[in-house]
Amino acid sequence: MLIGICYNMDEKGIDMFNIMVWCQGTLREQVIHELKQFDCFQISGKRDGDVLIIDISDPMYSLQHVRATLEEMNGSAIIVMIAKDTQQLLEVVGLYVYQYILQDQLTKRLPNCLQSIYEYLMNVTTICVSVEREKQFHRISDIWYFRCEDTFVYLGRKEMELVTNLTSLEKAKGLLGDDFQYVNRNVMVNLNHITSISDTTVTLQSMTFPLSRRKRQQLLSCMKKRGWTL
């Protein structure tokens, strides 16, 4: 019996990180010049980017104008602020600003700052597992499931399965976020890839895993929070 239907599956993939540059004139040119050294960042005009570089000394982007917008972005985008002096920077307490850079230190500090942001975003979106003594980075959104069999932990993607160096599913769970849940003691699935849940099975597009009675309630409550109609 089919008891759940997915209508809100997240298929968004992250190949490059979007960066918003809110400054003008020579400062903007300098920032864009520094950004060209990183292949992973693309400049975005929209307001849903991963990183925001803003010059609060510019009257167009002064705190009075953009404070409400920054508060909306607070926590979702990584904010890097540029200003003429430290006094302006100290007025922004309450916002999760990653780095405060003075205009005269821009060329010195911005490359390191961007490198740190890149490493952080990579760490947030991917995990590293050793497959046949080789390190491989896998995007978490692309992983479908982790399966444990005979003390080996297998990583499952759309059309392939890899043996990892992990020794238990608990260790894999430590690396992953809240998107992964156990469906039985040997299988952990990515909730974003579940297509249907029945009384005894969970289906991930082309694969089916048995659903244990103990994990069922837990899984259903997680899916309910994600907008599933049960």
Closer of 6 and 81 to another protein (Cβ): 81
Residue 51 Cβ, how far from another protein at the closest point, in Å?
Answer: 11
Residue 125 Cβ, how far from another protein at the closest point, in Å?
Answer: 9
Closer of 5 and 124 to another protein (Cβ): 124
Maximum distance among all alpha carbons in the chain?
A: 66
Closer of 95 and 220 to another protein (Cβ): 95
Closer of 80 and 211 to another protein (Cβ): 80
Size of the residue set binding another protein (CB under 8 A): 28
| Footprint on residues 71-90 left by another protein (CB under 8 A) | 75, 78, 86, 89-90
| Footprint on residues 139-198 left by another protein (CB under 8 A) | 165, 174-177
| Footprint on residues 91-150 left by another protein (CB under 8 A) | 93-94, 96-100, 116-117, 119-120, 123-124, 127-130, 135
Residue 175 Cβ, how far from another protein at the closest point, in Å?
Answer: 5
Contacts of 73 (CB under 8 A, 6+ apart): 47, 52, 79
60 binds another protein (CB under 8 A): no
Closer of 41 and 100 to another protein (Cβ): 100
Closer of 130 and 229 to another protein (Cβ): 130
Q: How far apart are CA 6 and CA 197, in angstroms?
A: 9
| Footprint on residues 20-59 left by another protein (CB under 8 A) | none
Q: Which of 90, 124, 173 is nearest to 17 (CA)?
A: 124
Residue 21 Cβ, how far from another protein at the closest point, in Å?
Answer: 19
Interface contacts to another protein, rule CB under 8 A: 75, 78, 86, 89-90, 93-94, 96-100, 116-117, 119-120, 123-124, 127-130, 135, 165, 174-177
